[in-house]
Every structure is written in C-alpha cells, then in structure tokens.
Amino acid sequence: MSTVVTQTPVVLDEDSDYIPWLEVIQTAADKFQLWDYVNPKIQPGELKVLEIPVEPTPKSLRTPVTPAAEGVQAPTAEISYSDLTAAERTQLQLKQNIYLHDLRTYDKKMEAMGDLRARIQSTISRRNFQYTRNCKSVAEMLRSLHVRFAPSDQARRNEVTKAWHLAIQRPKRGTAITKWLHDLESAYDEAVDFDLPEVKGLHPHFALTSASLEIDSSFANDWDRKLLKIDEKGPNKPDFREMVKELRDLRRLRESRILPTLYYSVF
C-alpha cells in the first residue's frame, strides 16, 4: 500500500516563522533565477532590475557619421536593411536570434514573478496583509516583510545559541528520540552557520556523547574513547552529523530486533 505524503505549507504568521518561510520563498525564486531581483537583504538600489530586451535594428549596427557644425548635434541618418553589407546582415540575424531568446526568457521571468507574488500573499496570514498592501513589486513586498519580521543579527545569534543549548541537553523521559535527533541536527547546522564557539573543535561531539548516555551507553562510551585519542585540530576530526546518523541507525537497528511478546495457550 502506498503512503500519501501531505505537505504543509510554511505560513508567515509570527516572527519565528520568518526564517523558514523566507527559505521556501527563495527556493521558489531560484527556480527561475529571480532571487537577485527580489532579495530583501539587499538594498533596493543595489538589486538587479528585470528589463525588457531591446530589439536590434539595422541602425543599431552602425554609428551614423553625419557632418555637423561644432556644438550642434548631428542629425541621425536613417539606415535600412538594404543599406547593410552581407556581413552586417549576418550579424543582424545573429543579434535578432539572441534578442528572441532573451525576450522569451524575459517573458518567462515576468510570468514567474507574478506567480511568486501570488505565492507570497498566499503564504502569509491575513493579519500580515498590511505589509504587502499597495506594494508595486515583489521586491518591495519582501522588503516590507523583511523589515517587519527579520531579527537583528545579534537577536538571531542569541536565538541560535539558545536553541543549541536546549537541543543538546539529555532528552527527557518520553521524548521521541527520532525527533530529538532531528532537532539536534537543525540546531547544529544553524550554530555552524553563525560560527558559534559551542560547535567548534570537539565540543559538540563530547556534548552528544554526554546527552546520549542514557539513550545508548555503548554508543556514548565507545565514542568517548575514540574522541580522547583525536586531535581536534587534526584532519581526522569526525563529522558530527555522521555521529548523529550512527546513533539514529543504531536505535533503528535495535528497535527492529525487539520481538513482540508471545502468549501461548496451555492445552
């Protein structure tokens, strides 16, 4: 029997939703190479501008030379296709082919930009519509939401630090270990992005063995012995994510070996 996977969209409702929500929006924008046009972390005047390509004409191949008095702008001489040489006609054809390609790309990006605008408004809560109302472009919408919801660098660093310390604690009784490991990996990745000292060297590795001692003492003790022999600045430092994967795999293996209790009838 096949399993139907239902995806739950990330909706921007509260401050804590912004980081994952923006990542989803960036993924949608990257599909059509639109992120450089709408990235809210870039100042509006520094964003790329989506401009319609200019169609080449016979006139664009030449710079007309028309005699003119000093200080007087020379009138523009008209150039028709028949005025071009064979080489210039070939060059014009190549430029027109490039123009048609660029025009199709522009049309696709404009359509995708409209879809992105609709996606943004369909994934924010009703009470946050005020931040996108009357915005003339997707870039303006995202900038408005960014100003409202994006945490400051220091605030975000504090949040990531707190999340790491909470995640690396020994799980309480009744905690789903699979979820605990998933949350731990997420907290670790964010801590690495912020270059936190808590995840440098072998600090996270020893923290994991301590946190997992009651879950799997064999795993914790084996890794403690290995880590004590490793130079944290050396090339053989183990990958923290691989340690987490090993613990997860060991849990699955042991759980798969647990046999259900059998009840026998007495005849």
Q: What is the DSSP string of 199-236?
A: GSTTHHHHHHHHHTTTT-HHHHHHHHHHHHTS-TTSTT
Separation CA 59–CA 13 (nearest Å)? 54
Four-residue CA torsion sign, 198, 200, 202, 208: positive
Q: Could you give the dihedral angle defined by the CA atoms of residues 36, 41, 42 and 45, in that order, rounded to the nearest 10 degrees?
A: 110
- Considering the entire predicted model, what is its pTM? 0.66
Note the pLDDT of residue 231: 83
pLDDT at 4: 40
In angstroms, the CA 73 to CA 67 distance is: 10
How many angstroms separate the Cα of 87 from the Cα of each of 40, 57, 58, 99, 175?
A: 46, 14, 12, 18, 75
pLDDT number for residue 79: 83
| 267 residues of the chain, pLDDT tens digit each | 444 434 557 999 999 899 999 999 999 999 999 999 999 999 989 999 999 999 998 888 776 555 555 555 554 567 887 788 888 889 989 999 999 999 999 999 999 999 999 999 999 999 999 999 999 999 999 999 999 999 888 888 999 999 999 999 999 888 899 999 999 999 999 999 889 999 999 999 999 999 999 999 999 999 999 999 998 777 788 999 999 999 999 989 988 887 665 544 444
Return the pLDDT at 76. 53
